[in-house]
Structure 1
Amino acid sequence: MAKQRPFMDGLKSDAFRIHMELKDRLKVVDSETGAVLDYYRPEPVMSEEKKRSFKFMTELDYHADKYGGFIIAFFEGSRRMTDIFPDLTQADYARLLYVSTYTAYSERDDLHCYLKHDNGHFINRSSLFKLLGVARNTFSAFYRKLIDNNIIQELDGKLAINPEFFFRGEIKKVSHFHSRTTVHTRVFRRTVRELYQKYGRRKTKQLGILYAILPYVNFRYNILCHNPTESNCELIHPMKLGELADKLRYRNASKLKTAMRGIRFEDMPVFQFVEDAHDNRQRKVIVNPALFYASGGETLETAKVLFQQNGGSGYKKDI
């Protein structure tokens, strides 16, 4: 009876009533031995594959909740951001990524994802200016680029973000906006916001590296590579720091590494480097999944452990 108590206490009222009505008339029999069981706790029947999937999704749900939920960023895999937005500067990338975290869920059949404050109030041009905290001339130039590149649209005084680039909700709703070469990843809202609030006003260009590297983040292992959609670890072609510097138009790989090392979140690095003592350009780069993560969760723990600081305190679950 002691074993039954936790189970009985966990039943809802209707289930408890039915259990009490049937318990004296029905018996549970072990199908292999024929023995009558005194205690039986029903559990859902799951295949091993479903159990693993449930475990991964549970961990991913916790991860998403811990870092403020996420929006989806779309981009062309391995295609430079400078080719997509040639008039945006690296500092603009930082502001754009920050703005994207205010993407609200689409409303019913309306695919427009409006920008909203966390209190539900719509963001207009004036409130966006206050949110970014930049000089008026800087904001005016940035805002014009957002409009000209069709990243945001003004609708009845509200600002809606183009689902071709950012979305919050079920991806299948906006699949017709994207080509076969379009890939996507989760961008965790709290991480981006805290980084912008920490670095956005004094190291905006440095912070823009985050958006610039998106096309090279492997969707499963979070390593920067030349084939970001490859899931077979033996076939992934890692990108060397020197190659990344060339793509981001940094003349010096050492300066790029210094800029990347200078970005930290909750006492954790945003980037980890696989060191090569002989050549700085040969180093490989891994991205903290507290910032971006695209896979279903099966590689999340492996990616997280690479960024643990002080005995793993950076990712310790709340008790």
Structure 2
Amino acid sequence: MLKMENDSKLPMTKKELMEVLKINKPHTINKLIKQFKELDMMSEDKVELYGKQHKAFFVNEKYCFRKDVIKKASTKKTAKVFMNNIKELYAEDKIKPADLGFVYSIVPFVNYHHNLLTANPYEMDASKDKYLTVSDISEALGMHSKEVAKKLSSIKWDGMSVFTRIKRGRDTIIKANPLIVFRQEGYPPASMYAEFIINKK
């Protein structure tokens, strides 16, 4: 159930959802909710709290869940998003909804071993990893390569880049900041995000 804070008792209202998503027009939020429902990503229902009925929005746990709620989740097949850091990222002045959408669209490509973006993120043999270039990401997301390159270099959080580029031979491959998204158990070790801290501005 969507709530404004983890310890909130009441569900998030449509007005609060608009505020969080930085949406000003009711038409826009209604259209977005309709699309999410059609994609089976969100549902709307009534819940009874404190003797009253409240409308509530629910995210389909097939796509997004808290691990403490669903214990059976396999880390190798899912990616952990650090919610407080994502909230801070979205609160940055220059971050737009489309930027956050881009970050989430990258999540399926984050590799288990090293947080590099690969075509086979669940591959347990690191020697078989198929690294993605900007062109590969552009093709996978249906975006122009210049737009992808701009997103990769411009999305910042707390003075750090959310993505960094690494030269590998003739190609440039991409790494996602593990303090934002991480596929392994627990908190990422410092060695995984050292380059992001070093380049922090």
- Indicate the TM-score class for this superposition, using the shorter chain for normalisation: 0.7 to 0.9
Q: Does 1:154 align with 2:27?
A: no
Partner of 1:250: 143
Q: How does 1:1-319 map to 2 (within 5 A)?
A: 114-118=1-5, 119-120=7-8, 121-136=10-25, 137-156=27-46, 157-168=55-66, 169-172=68-71, 183-198=77-92, 203-252=96-145, 254-275=146-167, 282-297=171-186, 300-309=189-198
Q: CA RMSD in A?
A: 2.7
Which has the higher relative contact order, 1 or 2, with Cα contacts under 8 A spaced 6 or more apart?
1
Gaps of 5+ in 1: 1-113, 315-319
**CA shift digits 1:92-147 (9 cap, x unpaired):** xxxxxxxxxxxxxxxxxxxxxx1112251321323222332312222121111122
1:185 Cα offset (Å): 0.9
- Contact residue 209 and residue 260 of structure 1 kept, 8 A: no
- Higher percent of residues as strand: 2
1:211–1:185 distance in 2 versus 1, CA, 3 Å: same
Q: Specify the SS of the correspondent of 1:192.
A: helix
Q: Distance in 2 between matches of 1:222 and 1:206?
A: 19
1:299 Cα offset (Å): 6.3
- Contact residue 267 and residue 309 of structure 1 kept, 8 A: no
Query: TM-score under structure 2 normalisation?
Result: 0.81
Matched pairs, number: 188
Q: Distance in 2 between matches of 1:240 and 1:305?
A: 22
Q: Which has the larger radius of gyration?
A: 1
Partner AA of 2:101 in structure 1: G
Query: TM-score under structure 1 normalisation?
Result: 0.53
- Contact residue 206 and residue 260 of structure 1 kept, 8 A: no
Provide the identity percentage: 21
Q: Specify the SS of the correspondent of 1:221.
A: coil
